[in-house]
Amino acid sequence: MVSRVEHPAAGYRKIFETVEELNEPIPAEITGRIPSWLGGSLLRMGPGLFEIGDEPFHHLFDGYALIHKFDMKDGQVTYYRKFLNSDAYVRAMTENRIVVTEFGTAAYPDPCKNIFSRFFTYFKGMEVTDNCMVNLYPIGEDFYAVTETNYITKVDPDSLETLEKVDLCKYLSVNGLTAHPHIDEDGAVYNIGNCFGKNLSLAYNIVKIPPAQEDKSNPLEKSEVVVQLPSSERLKPSYIHSFGMTKNYFVFVEPPVKINLLKFLSAWSFRGATYMDCFEPNETMGTWFHLATKDPANYLSNHKFRTSAFNIFHHINTYEEEEGFIVVDVCTWKGHDFVYNYLYLANLREDWEDVKKAAMRAPQPEVRRYVLPLDIHREEQGKNLVSLPYTTATAVLRTDGTIWLEPEVLFSGPRLAFEFPQINYSLCSGRKYSFTYGLGLNHFIPDRIVKLNVQTKETWVWQEDECYPSEPLFVSRPGATEEDDGVLLSIVVKPGAERPGFLLVLDAMKLTELARATVNTIIPVTLHGLYKP
């Protein structure tokens, strides 16, 4: 698993290049055998347009959203893609320039306007982007493309048409939500976002969007804030990308990557700034774990968990143990230096040796397990409160009332990240489990798919020369009784091949290839998505 793989041909550059949308689905050529029970659509979101005219986007999370779909039916596979018709995209295509500031690329006034209108436009402020290129998830019976701002976009999962732009601020007291909600067994959607309140007070709101309504009304109209968690700094909320949820608890990990609210507000009044300009590290706070009960919802202010500094983007799974513990498995990056600083497109498109040099300066990735004790007694200061026999993670009560956490490392390899984690969600979310599947990032380049046994730390790897896969989605076999009885679906790019894009179908138990469906087109990097049966 930790073997070094070289990419001197730099074929990975192709996944960061602009492509055109397709007029109609194109048939795939199948090798191997796709399981007869696998029939549905793999839907994925990611950037597909990396420049407008002669204006390039600078960051991985800037390119305009492209929706991808591999359809599997009766042993046949087709591939289709369309750009999301966000306001940002439509206006950019109309004016042939970047009109709305994206994550790491600033928009500037129209140079064709006269000097007075340019002057006033320059100080008008930064619009919030609706470029929903990160993920796709269901709300009720509808599907929404999402990013991390207050805008989500309703799409048709069959035709990939853009249907409706939705402003979450009309329904919820949040300034944006993560692209990684949790979906309960009844279809209710839980998510978390920052909230800027009165007098610049900051908090993190966990929200609930109910499942599909019998009267066919919009579930968003009945959405609510269920619990509010405090920010460790008054003017600097942490960057949130995901959170943990069990049957009875919410777990929010507050990292030391901060949003400077004053910079954020000034960016709104002065052009030339981007979202990336508003992030800064807090070198002293470490990382805090916040805990809240789910029903009834209540913030557990007496449970103050702290550990050393790390970046976190993706939770793997969170579950309760009967002995009174919550186990939190996460993908981490050591330290307070913001990992997104290393995801500018100029870095990712470098020659292989330069890519490696840049990655050597970045935080080191690790998969970690933390254990939060629920029963805390003052007389147990200095003692390890974790008594679970299968983990080396510790929790020690300090004299100031905080509980210091030390993790068990489940996976670590030099400059090799296990990221974009997936589990058998319907069976294991919020429950004790054994397996997670992820994308292996070798110096930030996605070049392998990994299966990790979180109990034994055993790993399995799928890898092929000059192949660049995407997040592997797990699909359970109908009637399966084993946790890993199913397949993994991943979009893979092999730039030098005659048919350079393909849907890869892996046996999730053995991580061996069952089939691939190849198409004669390059497919750019995708971030997240879902399987729609």
DSSP assignment of 72-138 equals EETTEEEEEEEE---HHHHHHHHHTS--S--SS------TTS-HHHHHHHHTT-PPPP----SEEEE
Known binder of ligand: residue 59?
no
Output DSSP code: residue 219.
G
Q: What is the mean pLDDT of residues 294-311?
A: 96
Q: Is 24 exposed, middle or buried (0-12, 13-18, 19+ CB in 10 A)?
A: exposed
> Closest Cα to residue 57, out of 20, 88, 24, 23?
88
Write out the two tokens for 255. Answer: 């990292």
% of the chain at pLDDT higher than 90: 89
**What number of residues does the chain have?**
533
pLDDT at 302 over 70: yes
241 is in an annotated binding site: yes
pLDDT at 278 over 60: yes
Q: What's the rounded Cα separation, in Å, for the pair 152 and 176?
A: 9
Does position 524 have pLDDT exceeding 90, yes or no?
Answer: yes
CB 175 within 8 A of CB 150: yes
Residue 119's pLDDT band (boundaries 50, 70, 90)? very low
φ, ψ dihedrals at 278, nearest 5°: -95, -5
Is 336 within any annotated ligand binding site?
Answer: no
| Residue 528 is labelled as binding a ligand | yes
At residue 117, the pLDDT reads: 42
Q: How confident is the model at residue 163 (pLDDT cuts 50, 70, 90)?
A: very high
pLDDT at position 266 is 74
The DSSP symbol for 266 reads H
By the 8 A CB rule, do 47 and 125 touch? no
The mean pLDDT of 170-175, rounded to a whole number, is 94
Phi, psi of 319 (to 5 degrees): -150, 160
* 464-517 pLDDT per residue, tens: 999 999 999 999 999 999 999 999 999 999 999 999 999 999 999 999 999 999
Query: Residues 515, 34: contact at Cβ < 8 Å?
Result: yes
**Domain ranges, ordered by start, for the chain:** 11-532
With b meaning 16 or more CB within 10 Å and e meaning fewer, what string describes 234-267? Answer: ebbbbbbbbbbbbeebbbbbbbbbbbbbebbeeb
Query: Global pTM?
Result: 0.96
Share of residues in the chain with pLDDT > 70 (%): 94
The 10s digit of each residue's pLDDT in 26-55 is: 999 999 999 999 999 999 999 999 999 999
With 60 as the cut, is the pLDDT of residue 122 above it?
no
The average confidence (pLDDT) of the chain is 94
**Residue at token pair 């204006």:** 55
DSSP 374: S
Q: Cβ(150)–Cβ(174) under 8 Å? A: yes
Contact, 249 vs 269, CB < 8 A? no
pLDDT attached to residue 36: 95
> 111: pLDDT confidence band, cut at 50, 70 and 90?
low
Give me the numbers of helices (H) and strands (E) for the chain, helices first please: 6, 38
Residue 25 has pLDDT above 60, yes or no: yes
DSSP 457: -
